[in-house]
Amino acid sequence: MSDVLLLVVGILVAAVGVGVSIALHEVGHLLPAKRFGVRVTQYMVGFGPTLWSRRRGETEYGVKAIPLGGYIRMIGMFAPRPGDAPGTLRASSTGRFGLMVEEARRQSAEEVAPGEEHRAFYRLSVPKRLAIMFGGPFVNLVLAFALLAVALSALGTPQNTPLVSAVSRCVLPASATTATECAAGDPAAPGAAAGLRPGDRIVEFDGERVRDWQQVSAAIRAAGGREVEVVVVRDGARVVLRATPVLTERPAVDADGDPTGGTVQVGFLGVTPSVELVRQPLSQVPALVGDQVAAVAGIVLNLPQRLVDVAQAAFGSAERDPNGPMGVVGIGRVAGELNQLPPLVATDALAERASRLLTLLASLNVALFVFNMIPLLPFDGGHIAGALWEGVKRTGARLLRRPDPGPVDVAKALPVAYAVSVLLIGMSLLLLYADIVRPVRLSG
């Protein structure tokens, strides 16, 4: 498959993945809203002009031109002021923001037809409103779990394994990279002297069962200068060999196996691992999703500085942070380049590429979950925060035997919502420009 075709496939997968993730997010709001009897007038994927729509029952389903989100429209999102008749617009609200709030409240009231007051969103109990507003982010979190489970546990990720791909013929200095540098006077490598061959799979080393290359490598490095038993599987049969790793100077590594830049005297056997797709247990998926949630939350908490970094890269000479925020164009570009990268496991190239793209889409859904949980309007977290505050007030009033304080006036937060929306538009434009002029690149 050509590089251009791989790039296009990656971009298409990202585009479809973004669209499906947004659509399912809105389904997470839609289903509980309909289940609780709220009238939903619109279900839309995207913003701006409508490209396609169809009415089913009381709900219009459609797709809009700008694929930067979606929404469902429920009647009665904002409660009237206590004692006000439906549709009341207070003349005393002379400030610009006050009029804005009152107008939004009036429009919300006009959507509630006579006889359907009980179907207004604000009339639901706090738990039901929480279920509706949390439904969207929850779907993204479930998608992240599902996509990572398929990527890691069904397809696998490339890892060094105890399957021997090559055996050195001699002991080489730490700076050597290939066995072709062996000279006549070089000592034979312990692995070759013990009879290890390419294709052997090491299953036991020095009396201990080994399951991954990290275990084998650590055991070899610790066994320098003494004879050990090495059990391999060769052509389906167990073969017992004896080898004496020699002490030699090798690159020092940390606890994760990454080079530290120095050298150390350790055991050397002279075998090279194979790279295979290794399936991870499902039990590892929750921790990985948790790590991604924490990472995205860190980006959100430092978003102003992150956007400054993006601006410096877009309008200056700084490099883009590959772990920083990206727009939809950047996500598509990264997906295309990710699909172009040569596979580490040539025999499972399709599975490896699919695993990469599914992992990327899982990260996208984690980002959708975290951003939508921000406790400000217009995010879902703003409505969640309002419902929780209402629950606290009503519980407090009940315990203190005071009158029910009624619904929390979420409409008062609309000026904040408009300000946040303006900032989101500015951020989207900045990321779009940066993704075009100085995109995040996976390779030079």
pLDDT (tens digit per residue) in 205-218: 998 999 999 999 88
Using the Cα atoms of residue 77, residue 81, residue 84 and residue 90 in order, give the sign of their dihedral.
negative
251 DSSP β-pair partners: 263
Instruction: Look at residue 442 in the predicted model and tell me its pLDDT.
Output: 74
CA distances from residue 184 to 166, 171, 176, 181 in whole angstroms, order as listed = 20, 12, 16, 10
Interatomic CA distance for residues 324 and 438, integer angstroms: 13
Instruction: Look at residue 90 in the predicted model and tell me its pLDDT.
Output: 44
Residue 387: count of CB within 10 angstroms of its CB = 25
User: For residue 256, what pLDDT band results from cuts at 50, 70 and 90?
Assistant: low
CA angle 381, 384, 387 (to 5 degrees): 155
Q: What are the start-end ranges of the H helices in 302-399?
A: 303-315, 328-340, 349-372, 380-399
User: For residue 257, what pLDDT band results from cuts at 50, 70 and 90?
Assistant: low
Backbone angles phi, psi at 171, to 5 degrees: -85, 120
Contacts of 235 (CB under 8 A, 6+ apart): none
262: left (phi over 0), alpha (psi -120 to 50) or beta: beta
Give Cα 252 to chain centroid, integer Å.
Answer: 32
Q: Where are the beta strands (DSSP E) in 75-105?
A: none
Residue extent(s) of CATH 2.30.42.10 domains in the chain: 158-277
Q: Does domain 158-277 have CATH number 2.30.42.10?
A: yes
Burial of 205-234, coded b for 16+ CB within 10 Å and e otherwise, reads bbeeebeebbebbbbbbebbeeebebbbbe
- What is the mean pLDDT of the segment spanning 174-179? 54
Dmax over CA atoms of the chain, in Å, equals 99
Using the Cα atoms of residue 315, residue 319, residue 324 and residue 330 in order, give the sign of their dihedral.
positive
**Average model confidence (pLDDT) for the chain?**
86
Which of 250-259, 359-368, 416-425 is most confident? 359-368
**Residue located via tokens 């970094």:** 309
45 DSSP β-pair partners: 63, 70
Catalytic residues: 26
Cβ atoms of 414 and 100 within 8 Å: the answer is yes
User: pTM for this one?
Assistant: 0.83
Determine whether 30 is exposed, middle or buried from the number of CB atoms within 10 Å of its CB (0-12, 13-18, 19+). Answer: buried
User: For residue 127, what pLDDT band results from cuts at 50, 70 and 90?
Assistant: very high
Spatial CA neighbour of 171 closest among 89, 271, 60, 309: 271
Two structure tokens written together for 102: 């009152």
The rounded radius of gyration (Å) of the Cα atoms in the chain is 30
User: For residue 145, what pLDDT band results from cuts at 50, 70 and 90?
Assistant: very high
Rounded to 10°, the helix 3-35/126-148 angle is 160
The model's pLDDT over 10-46, given as tens digits with 9 standing for 90+, comes to 989 999 999 999 999 999 999 999 999 999 999 999 8
- What is the mean pLDDT of the segment spanning 120-139? 93
If DSSP codes are grouped into helix, strand and coil, which group holds residue 10? helix
- Relative to beta strand 246-253, strand 208-209 is unpaired
Residue 442: count of CB within 10 angstroms of its CB = 12
If DSSP codes are grouped into helix, strand and coil, which group holds residue 210? coil
Instruction: Look at residue 94 in the predicted model and tell me its pLDDT.
Output: 47
- What is the mean pLDDT of the segment spanning 258-277? 84
Instruction: Look at residue 93 in the predicted model and tell me its pLDDT.
Output: 47
